[in-house]
């Protein structure tokens, strides 16, 4: 009898533990842990890259993570992810949130939830100066981009005769362009501009005004983490209202930054 009661208590305890592990909303998990783990890029300036002076990962995406962690009253930890690894890392529970130049779209939203749009850009091409006037100049050529990106899919549609070479990240694709192995690198304009701005031989390259898609960025969270998603969305709207979102934008893209670009969006609630 004693054994049966013991066994029942044991089973009940196991069920309770399993319940908290599997059913807890990330909001509670993060609060209990005292830290939030953000999956970010580490070689995509100005969104996420290693600051050569401090050796820390910094950037627009990291500043959004930091603001959300501060609002939650927890420490921020960042973990580098790639375009291909970010969704598996989130789904497997290795990170709490994706803040990694990630476009929100219906296909991805089948697997994860997205916040309101916190950045807006569009897909373009980085090429050797004077080589490309229109999209037709690129069809049939080799084009570099990153694995697991929307850039890869959009390029296949826009340039059906081209060979799309997918690298782990965009600096590798840019290296292939510099070595003459591809005719262009394609991804979001702001990522291309960030790579271009940091290139030592930047006068040899340009981004022609050829845009093949709109790319609205969302913060990625596990499906069904309603409390966390609501909290993050609420924080984003507050950041827009208080001017903090614009302040982060101006730090990386304002007139005094390396990449002056007008802010063509505001953070608003999704319909
Ligand atoms: N924003 C696009 C995407 O989410 C391209 C940039 C990236 O690879 O992160 O796929």
Cβ neighbours of residue 13 under 8 Å, at least 6 residues apart? none
pLDDT of residue 19: 46
Residue 62 pLDDT > 50: yes
pLDDT per position as a tens digit, 166-206: 999 999 999 999 999 999 999 999 999 999 998 999 999 99
pLDDT of residue 20: 46
Instruction: Spell out the domains of the chain, with CATH numbers in brackets.
Output: 25-118+218-253 (3.40.190.10), 122-214 (3.40.190.10)
pLDDT of residue 136: 95
How far is the CA of 63 from the CAs of 115, 196, 247, 257, in angstroms?
Answer: 16, 22, 10, 15
Residue 263 pLDDT > 70: yes
Helices (H), the chain: 2-23, 26-33, 60-72, 86-91, 150-158, 170-178, 189-198, 226-242, 244-253
Answer for the pair 189, 214: CB distance below 8 angstroms, yes or no.
no
Which ligand 1 atom sits closest to the C-alpha of 101? Answer: 9
Unique residue bearing structure tokens 């790639």: 82
Question: What stretch of H or E contains 165?
Answer: strand 163-167
The mean pLDDT of the chain is 93
Percent of the chain whose predicted confidence (pLDDT) is above 70: 92
Q: Does the beta carbon of 186 lie inside 6 Å of ligand 1?
A: no
How far is the CA of 104 from the CAs of 63, 65, 119, 151, 225, in angstroms?
Answer: 19, 17, 11, 13, 17
- pTM (2 d.p.): 0.91
Mutating to test ligand 1, I would choose from 46, 59, 83 the residue with most ligand atoms within 8 A of its C-beta, which is 83
Q: Does the beta carbon of 150 lie inside 6 Å of ligand 1?
A: yes
Task: Give the span between the Cα atoms of 124 and 189, in whole angstroms.
Answer: 5
Angle between helices 244-253 and 226-242 (to 10 degrees): 70
Which ligand 1 atom sits closest to the C-alpha of 102? Answer: 4
pLDDT of residue 209: 97
Which ligand 1 atom sits closest to the C-alpha of 41? Answer: 9
Unique residue bearing structure tokens 């296949």: 156
């Amino acid at each position: 009898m004693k054994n049966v009661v013991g066994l029942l208590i044991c089973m009940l305890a196991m069920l309770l533990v399993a319940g908290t592990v599997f059913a807890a909303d990330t909001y509670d998990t993060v609060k209990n842990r005292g830290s939030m783990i953000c999956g970010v890029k580490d070689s995509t300036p100005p969104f996420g890259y290693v600051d050569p002076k401090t050796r820390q990962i910094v950037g627009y995406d990291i500043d959004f993570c930091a603001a959300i962690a501060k609002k939650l009253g927890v420490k921020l930890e960042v973990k580098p992810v790639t375009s291909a690894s970010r969704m598996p890392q989130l789904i497997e529970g290795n990170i709490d949130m994706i803040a990694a130049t990630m476009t929100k779209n219906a296909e991805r939203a089948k697997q994860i939830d997205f916040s309101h749009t916190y950045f807006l850009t569009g897909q373009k091409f980085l090429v050797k100066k004077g080589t490309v006037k229109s999209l037709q100049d690129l069809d049939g050529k080799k084009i570099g981009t990153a694995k697991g990106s929307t850039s890869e899919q959009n390029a296949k549609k826009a340039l059906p005769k081209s060979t799309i070479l997918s690298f782990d990240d965009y600096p590798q694709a840019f290296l292939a362009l510099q070595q003459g192995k591809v005719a262009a690198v394609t991804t979001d304009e702001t990522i291309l501009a960030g790579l271009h701005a940091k290139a030592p031989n930047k006068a040899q390259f340009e981004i022609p005004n050829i845009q093949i898609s709109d790319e609205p960025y969302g913060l990625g969270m596990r499906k069904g983490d309603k409390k966390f998603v609501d909290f993050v969305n609420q924080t984003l709207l507050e950041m827009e209202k208080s001017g903090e979102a614009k302040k982060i934008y101006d730090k990386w893209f304002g007139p005094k930054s390396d990449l002056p670009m007008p802010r063509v969006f505001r953070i608003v609630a999704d319909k």
